[in-house]
Chains A and B, each alone.
Chain A
Amino acid sequence: GENVEQHPSTLSVQEGDSAVIKCTYSDSASNYFPWYKQELGKRPQLIIDIRSNVGEKKDQRIAVTLNKTAKHFSLHITETQPEDSAVYFCAGQMGNEKLTFGTGTRLTIIP
């Protein structure tokens, strides 16, 4: 089955700087890669996703890039703000198979 690895496990950045979280996946047939954000004490929520026919997708300050050849994808957050502090999970899915989540990255924005 699919295996998704996520790095780093913790990340601290100064407010206003950029943050990058990277994930790798094992199954080259995977074609859907969402990112979920979980704020402290709250439920995970989808923030952005990308499909395998696209190399990059942006939504305001967040972007996701996908390198199918290398089987990795990354989340980029620019101009970070305190409300970006949360745990971020990447995931990969192939067709109607289950969604496999990474182990999470705890992002802390330092004011």
Chain B
Amino acid sequence: ETGVTQTPRHLVMGMTNKKSLKCEQHLGHNAMYWYKQSAKKPLELMFVYNFKEQTENNSVPSRFSPECPNSSHLFLHLHTLQPEDSALYLCASSPGLAGSYEQYFGPGTRLTVT
């Protein structure tokens, strides 16, 4: 699959579990994003990375921990989540932050917290 890929596509975890979401982009982009999509907030920005540096943390609880080892990979580490964290987590990338770039989204990870 080309473009932006995400694994796993579905994840069910208990509140005491630790899991990680992975995102990979094959587009040579420099900026990567994590979004949370739920019925209450359809497209909520969580984190932004530009050239591997975090430039935005949109007041996200510490139970979500992002990691960006290089411009092609982005992780979201999850621990002690709450049922209200159940949502679709979308990764996106763009060539850069400035210059009005299109964001390319991945297919998302459907997360269910039990």
Q: How far is the CA of A81 from the CA of B43 in the complex (A)?
A: 25
| One of A12-20, A55-63, A65-73, A98-106 at the interface | A98-106
Q: Which of B100, B105, B106 contacts A93 (CB 8 A)?
A: B100
Q: How far is the CA of A36 from the CA of B42 in the complex (A)?
A: 12
Interface size class of A (residues with CB under 8 A): 20 to 34
Asked if residues A87 and B42 are in contact (CB atoms below 8 Å), the reply is: yes
User: Which residues of the other chain, A, contact B99 by a CB distance below 8 angstroms?
Assistant: 96
Q: Within 8 Å of chain A (Cβ to Cβ): is B103?
A: yes
User: Which residues of the other chain, B, contact A49 by a CB distance below 8 angstroms?
Assistant: 100, 102
Q: Which residues of A contact B (CB under 8 A)?
A: 31-32, 34, 36, 42-46, 49, 51, 87, 89, 93, 95-101, 103-104
Q: List 20 A-B contacts (CB under 8 A).
A: A36-B103, A42-B107, A43-B90, A43-B106, A43-B107, A44-B90, A46-B103, A49-B100, A51-B100, A87-B42, A89-B42, A96-B96, A97-B97, A98-B45, A98-B56, A100-B45, A101-B42, A101-B43, A101-B45, A104-B42
Q: How far is the CA of A30 from the CA of B58 in the complex (A)?
A: 19
User: Which residues of the other chain, B, contact A36 by a CB distance below 8 angstroms?
Assistant: 103
Q: How far is the CA of A46 from the CA of B101 in the complex (A)?
A: 10
User: Which residues of the other chain, B, contact A44 by a CB distance below 8 angstroms?
Assistant: 43, 90, 103, 105
The 4 tightest CB contacts between A and B, nearest first, are: A96-B98, A32-B100, A43-B105, A104-B42
